[in-house]
Amino acid sequence: MQEQFLELDPPERILMGPGPSNVHPRVLKAMSLPVIGHLDPCFIGIMHEVMDLLKSVFQTSNDFTLPISGTGSAGMEASLCNAIEPGDEAVICVNGFFSDRMADIAERCGGRPTIVEGEWGHAIDVNKVESALKQTKAKVVAVVHAETSTGAMNPVKEISELAQKQGALLLVDTVTSLGGMPLKVDEWGIDICYSGTQKCLGCPPGMAPITFSERAMEAVRNRKTKVQSLYLDLGLLDTYWGEKSAYHHTAPISMVYAVREALRLVLEEGLEARFKRHQLNHTALVAGLEAMGLNILPGKDERLWTLNAVVIPEGVDDAKVRNRLLEEYSIEIGGGLGVLKGKLWRVGLMGYTSSRSNVLLFLSALETILCSEGLNIERGAASQAVSAVYG
């Protein structure tokens, strides 16, 4: 038996897909610290520190700010199933795989979603949102800030203004933007916001940072029906993470350590400096890709800095290129989802992964592979374009 199951030895990868991203060594070290009880006074103190750190990264003063035990999808479900109960109307902006999933969950909660359809790879039309709001009595307006499936950024601030006029709660998915792109929960008027730990925060997957405004929490407290999920009931979670520290579930101790250290790293670097790093590396990557004759799906003003959607050239085998990057260079990138399957490469530059060395290595590897696959690319053009960006 022991001969069949040897000690784990996974390969080291450069994770440049849509997530997870590479994890900072300090975060890995934090995960190796001794496990203590989930109601130990020391651990309760650590939980409160994590809440304070998260407030700084979300740029909010919301009392209810904590990491849900679960991945970003748990954050999505917790946000929607607490905010929406049977019969509630909601306006859902759908222009990608993950915003489509929000609409699905809203229906599962018994809500009545009005879908604002947008073209995949492009930002939601604010005028369509305004029109939908005029025709509904929406309790919630939901939008994905950074749509991971397409690399497109949605106009959250403009949609927030419309939601506020309607008196609706604004719910925003920031799974691919928190810690990598500007996000100001309080200033932008966001009532409900969730994310994941495995992308721009540079932490393993396993927790979902979430924050609810007092107005949103008041709506949760005044529900006519129980939240459909006991595990994700924010009222119950509040008693565990709050001052009472009453048992709700066994928190993933080592993951809480990891989140704490990842958030410390974010604030040590500084939010503005971190955003500039992500923007610079994105700009350099795009310059290199365009010098190779490749196109980016979203328009320049709609692109994410954290997730780059590269249009696959005609005649190039999507899976073959991704497999060669993994096997020959140990670089992981993602393929397209839904209607964009086989049409896109999704190249992530998030958190610890977002570095000049990774941009240069990826472009060099991709150039070599595409040339060997018969694509007519000017050798060295990408490198020159990148050098011009980095100066």
Sorted by sequence, the CB contacts under 8 Å of residue 157 that are 6+ apart come out as 188, 189
- The helix/strand/coil state of 65 is strand
Count of other CB atoms within 10 angstroms of residue 352: 20
Per-residue tokens: 324? 């060669």
Q: Which DSSP letter does residue 300 get?
A: G
CATH architecture entry for 271-390? Alpha-Beta Complex (3.90)
Q: Which residues of the chain fall short of a pLDDT of 70?
A: 1-2
- pLDDT of 243 reads 78
Per-residue tokens: 335? 């393929």
Backbone angles phi, psi at 65, to 5 degrees: -140, 115
Query: What is the chain's percent helix, strand, coil content, to nearest 5?
Result: 45, 15, 40
- pLDDT of 78 reads 97
Per-residue tokens: 348? 């992530």
Backbone angles phi, psi at 314, to 5 degrees: -60, 135
- The helix/strand/coil state of 44 is helix
Element (H, E) at 207: strand 207-212
Distances (CA, A) of 93 to 96, 127, 144, 380: 9, 12, 8, 41
Angle between helices 381-390 and 271-291 (to 10 degrees): 150
| pTM of the entire predicted model | 0.96
Domain boundaries, the chain: 25-268, 271-390
- pLDDT of 5 reads 87
Cβ burial, residue 315 (10 Å; 0-12/13-18/19+): exposed
Closest C-alpha to 298, from 307, 11, 181: 307
Is 25-268 a CATH 3.40.640.10 domain? yes
- The helix/strand/coil state of 143 is strand
- pLDDT of 318 reads 96
Element (H, E) at 266: helix 253-269
- pLDDT of 47 reads 95
Count of other CB atoms within 10 angstroms of residue 311: 16
